[in-house]
A and B are shown apart, each in its own frame.
Chain A
């Protein structure tokens, strides 16, 4: 954090930041502890934040504990990233109405979008957002921009928090995406017991920050923030065996490890639901019972389902082995062809939320390290 741009915000003034964003027309969203996990929900008051909460993540396990700490962001992540706020888990793409003369009218409703300000976004989530932007808006691999995603994206204000307490499942250092947010945010916070160091990353962020009229951060505070980041980096024990595993994965498509992982994998698709870069979806049709209208929707889908690769009379990937292999070779391999980088941002969600604790770093390691 550059001292010329960093300010100190006492903890008591966090509410001023929430209020000023609300006054600027944003609906504020922030982390809350609900149902035993940290989730993003509407945020009106700083007291709703998960103060004192720590997350303990292991393969197949996620637990919150209250440490009594004054900190509100001393956790790594929850099952959600920014994905559900932009790429809705289910939404209507268009509607067909049958006219009395038998003709069809097609139309779509503009989604009801309010500008959103999200608090507590991590560097990994910003990296995932950049990938989803490439996929849904920037037309990577020649795709058309999606108007629904774009409307939500345009109104998004991001308050990042530099990660100070990575979980044991985290490995963003090895993917190059964290733990510090370096770009893609409007404001970034370093949390301290007594408050926050605040940095602006955009003109919008700078305007909000100026409105708060905060004092400049002290050199000692900046040094502590840097040390905190260094400690977070060192705390990460997991890693992928490389940034680009494309060649190793595709050279090992018949590796025996695929069979081993298939024996454990339930093909449940949890990893794809919590993954902030997975974009697969299906388009179910929902006719109204009176026959007067039919709604064409889109809904998150997963390459772990049977229907995902079904073509008339044939399921291209009929078993768990081929589905897990499809997921991993795409995420860490062919993703490079499509987006110029890996699809993994090191958040570790797929490890913690896998009901049988399959660890992507372990599987990639087993397949790539023993191969060519």
Chain B
């Protein structure tokens, strides 16, 4: 058995989310592979574009429907530029799922604060969907999304829909707003005062640029959220996703195996040191 080998997957649907962000709905072609596939929110797949290579992309769809896998991708490099040109019916390679996902078991019966920045939202969309579908099993849901520029915000309608749900609060923030930006302007930590955070009761899941996560984790801890209750998803240059290639090394951890989701105390010693 060669653990490096991808499986064939078909592009079932392609959704353009913004000028440079798109979502692929994928379906594994082999029936047995498809039926055996299970994942946890926060895990990622290695997606392969023929002739170009592989990229690690988190799975945004609901784990209850593993037959259709949604991946939201930003065009940033050679492989993702190529993937942006895929059309329905075309085939790619897929292997996974990899890594440790979000601590959903810990979140049972507690308040959940989902804090994201930029495209950081993608790895936690499946968590939000998971909670929304099982609302009574969780306490208050707070969704905070920060973007650099107002036009970076994806899924405006989705946030609006979430904001309408019971016991759910949605707070949006842009470093640079604009005439059509009715929400907060400034750093994402600026909306923490508005968020109704019961510090002893809240589990935080955050994802986004490291600077934003660093400032947010520090601020939340100062406000009394227990550091062990703050979880964040890290990103590194993953090549193999098997814990072998060393590119995603972070101190004594391999992000592809011990992560991508870590508790704040696990990474805190190096988080403030530039260059790890």
Chain A residues proximal to chain B, CB less than 8 Å: 93-94, 96, 98, 102-108, 135-136, 139, 141-147, 250, 253, 279-285, 287, 291, 294, 296, 298, 301, 303, 307-313, 316-317, 319, 321-322, 325-326, 330, 334-338
- Is the CB of B236 closer than 8 A to any CB of chain A? yes
Contact with A along B238-253 (1 / 0, CB 8 A): 0110111111010111
A141 touches B247 (CB 8 A): no
Q: Determine the residue in chain B with the shortest Cβ distance to A330.
A: B249
Separation in Å of the A330 CB from the closest CB of chain B?
7
Separation in Å of the B223 CB from the closest CB of chain A?
28
A291 touches B51 (CB 8 A): yes
Report how far A283 CA is from B275 CA in the complex, Å.
23
User: In residues 219-276 of chain B, which contact A (Cβ within 8 Å)?
Assistant: 235-237, 239-240, 242-247, 249, 251-254, 257-258, 269, 273-276
Report how far A308 CA is from B50 CA in the complex, Å.
22
Chain A residues positioned under 8 Å from B51 (CB to CB): 96, 285, 287, 291, 294
Report how far A281 CA is from B77 CA in the complex, Å.
20
A280 touches B236 (CB 8 A): no
Looking at A144, A250, A326, A338, the one whose CB has the most chain B CB atoms below 10 A away is A144
- Is the CB of B90 closer than 8 A to any CB of chain A? yes
Chain B residues proximal to chain A, CB less than 8 Å: 1-8, 29, 48, 50-54, 74, 76-77, 80, 89-93, 235-237, 239-240, 242-247, 249, 251-254, 257-258, 269, 273-276
Chain A residues positioned under 8 Å from B258 (CB to CB): 141-142
Known contacts A104-B91, A311-B237; A317 and B242 CB within 8 A of each other: no
Separation in Å of the A312 CB from the closest CB of chain B?
4
Known contacts A98-B50, A294-B51, A296-B4; A283 and B251 CB within 8 A of each other: no
**Contact with A108, one of B2, B8, B247 (Cβ below 8 angstroms):** B2
B247 touches A301 (CB 8 A): yes
Report how far A7 CA is from B239 CA in the complex, Å.
49
Report how far A54 CA is from B90 CA in the complex, Å.
61
Known contacts A135-B244, A303-B246, A322-B274; A102 and B235 CB within 8 A of each other: no
**Contact with B2, one of A105, A147, A298, A319 (Cβ below 8 angstroms):** A147
Separation in Å of the A315 CB from the closest CB of chain B?
9
Known contacts A98-B50, A330-B249; A106 and B257 CB within 8 A of each other: no
Chain B residues positioned under 8 Å from A311 (CB to CB): 235-237
Separation in Å of the B18 CB from the closest CB of chain A?
16
Chain A-chain B contacts (Cβ-Cβ < 8 Å), number: 145
A104 touches B244 (CB 8 A): no
B76 touches A312 (CB 8 A): yes
B276 touches A280 (CB 8 A): no
Chain A residues positioned under 8 Å from B275 (CB to CB): 316-317, 319, 321-322, 325-326
Q: Determine the residue in chain A with the shortest Cβ distance to B55.
A: A312
Report how far A105 CA is from B9 CA in the complex, Å.
11
A310 touches B237 (CB 8 A): yes
Chain B residues positioned under 8 Å from A280 (CB to CB): 245-247
Q: Determine the residue in chain A with the shortest Cβ distance to B48.
A: A96
A334 touches B237 (CB 8 A): no
Chain A residues positioned under 8 Å from B3 (CB to CB): 144-147
Separation in Å of the B50 CB from the closest CB of chain A?
6
Report how far A282 CA is from B247 CA in the complex, Å.
8
Chain B residues positioned under 8 Å from A338 (CB to CB): 252, 254
A309 touches B93 (CB 8 A): no
B92 touches A104 (CB 8 A): yes
B251 touches A106 (CB 8 A): no
Report how far A335 CA is from B7 CA in the complex, Å.
33
Separation in Å of the B11 CB from the closest CB of chain A?
11
28 sampled A-B residue pairs with Cβ under 8 A: A93-B5, A94-B6, A102-B89, A105-B8, A106-B7, A136-B244, A141-B253, A143-B257, A144-B243, A147-B1, A147-B3, A281-B244, A282-B239, A285-B51, A285-B52, A285-B53, A287-B50, A287-B52, A298-B240, A303-B249, A313-B76, A316-B237, A316-B275, A322-B274, A334-B252, A336-B252, A337-B251, A337-B252
Chain A residues positioned under 8 Å from B52 (CB to CB): 285, 287
Separation in Å of the A360 CB from the closest CB of chain B?
18
Q: Determine the residue in chain A with the shortest Cβ distance to B29.
A: A103
Separation in Å of the B228 CB from the closest CB of chain A?
19
Chain A residues positioned under 8 Å from B273 (CB to CB): 253
A93 touches B2 (CB 8 A): yes
Chain A residues positioned under 8 Å from B80 (CB to CB): 312
Looking at A94, A284, A287, the one whose CB has the most chain B CB atoms below 10 A away is A94
Known contacts A145-B3, A282-B245, A326-B276; can you find 8 more A-B pairs with CB under 8 A? Answer: A96-B6, A96-B48, A102-B89, A142-B257, A146-B242, A279-B245, A281-B239, A316-B275
A106 touches B5 (CB 8 A): yes
Known contacts A106-B6, A143-B242, A308-B247; A283 and B54 CB within 8 A of each other: yes
Chain B residues positioned under 8 Å from A96 (CB to CB): 6, 48, 50-51, 93
Looking at B6, B89, B252, B258, the one whose CB has the most chain A CB atoms below 10 A away is B252
Separation in Å of the A40 CB from the closest CB of chain B?
23
Q: Determine the residue in chain B with the shortest Cβ distance to A136.
A: B244
Q: Determine the residue in chain B with the shortest Cβ distance to A140.
A: B243
B239 touches A104 (CB 8 A): no
Chain B residues positioned under 8 Å from A283 (CB to CB): 53-54, 239-240, 245
Chain A residues positioned under 8 Å from B89 (CB to CB): 102
A309 touches B237 (CB 8 A): yes
Looking at A105, A143, A319, A336, the one whose CB has the most chain B CB atoms below 10 A away is A143
A94 touches B92 (CB 8 A): no
Report how far A321 CA is from B173 CA in the complex, Å.
36
B243 touches A93 (CB 8 A): no
Report how far A296 CA is from B53 CA in the complex, Å.
7
Which 8 A-B pairs have CB atoms at the shortest separation, nearest pair first? A337-B252, A143-B243, A322-B275, A280-B246, A312-B76, A287-B51, A334-B252, A285-B53
